[in-house]
Amino acid sequence: MTIQILIADDHPVVRSGLVALLNSQPEFEVVAEVGNGEEAVSYSLANAPDVILMDLQMPVMDGLTAIHQIRAQQPEARIIVLTTYDTDADIMPALKAGATGYLLKDAPPEALFNAIQSAARGEVAYAPKVAAKITRHLTNTPKRALSNREVEVLELASQGNTNKAIASKLHITEATVKSHFVHIFTKLGVDDRTAAVTVALKRKIIRLI
């Protein structure tokens, strides 16, 4: 019995390459390919493929939102993130949303094959670099780990947003933003925004967009 696979990626060349690669293996069958998260949700809910390969950065609806929506209605869905992004700010939200695997697009074909087979069996599958980040994240003490909101605040700060702009974009008060920065500074062991952004980028807690 073949493993039925849905590919969700907004780059036609990437999709074509994956289709050719996966269909060359007798145990795999690419049943559909879509170009955005909205189409991925629609197809998955209607057809329930065995495994979904999901890019994160896509138009209309991004991969993270698609994972949330699929898993909310299909808790048993097996979704492998296949992306170029390997920062904590990308990895942890995807796993918390319900992704059962996380691979980078430079992974060798055998790693992709193994990940799909593992996902189909209900097992997790991570790229070695990703697994190391997950381990580091889990072994961080709560005092040192930034919350998802603190990461959002820091990412917006790295883009040059003022406290007022950050508050507006996150629909919170400026006082709350300042409070988040106090916690961020404490956790990262720094004294100002510039140092916080520098340390967060170095540790790959955030990434420049």
Rounded average pLDDT over 89-94: 85
Is residue 16 a contact partner of residue 42, using CB atoms and an 8 Å limit?
no
Q: Alpha helices, DSSP H only, in 48-97?
A: 63-73, 88-97
Under CATH, what is the fold of the domain 148-202? Arc Repressor Mutant, subunit A (1.10.10)
Is residue 84 a contact partner of residue 104, using CB atoms and an 8 Å limit?
yes
Whether pTM > 0.75 for this model: the answer is no
pLDDT for 143 equals: 45
Residue spans in the chain of domains classed CATH 3.40.50.2300 = 3-138
What is the per-residue pLDDT across 100-136, written as a single tens digit (0 to 9) for each? 999 999 999 999 999 999 999 999 888 887 877 776 6
pLDDT band, residue 81 (cuts 50/70/90) = very high
Residue 184 to residue 6: CA distance in whole angstroms: 39
pLDDT band, residue 137 (cuts 50/70/90) = low
Rounded average pLDDT over 150-159: 93
pLDDT band, residue 53 (cuts 50/70/90) = very high
Residue 181 to residue 60: CA distance in whole angstroms: 32
Instruction: Show the tokens assigned to 31.
Output: 């049943």
* Confidence check: pLDDT of 141 > 50: no
Give me the half-sphere count of Cα atoms (radius 13 Å) on the Cβ side of residue 205: 26
User: Dihedral, CA atoms, 136, 63, 97, 148, nearest 10 degrees?
Assistant: 60
Residue spans in the chain of domains classed CATH 1.10.10.10 = 148-202
CATH superfamily name and code, 3-138: Response regulator (3.40.50.2300)
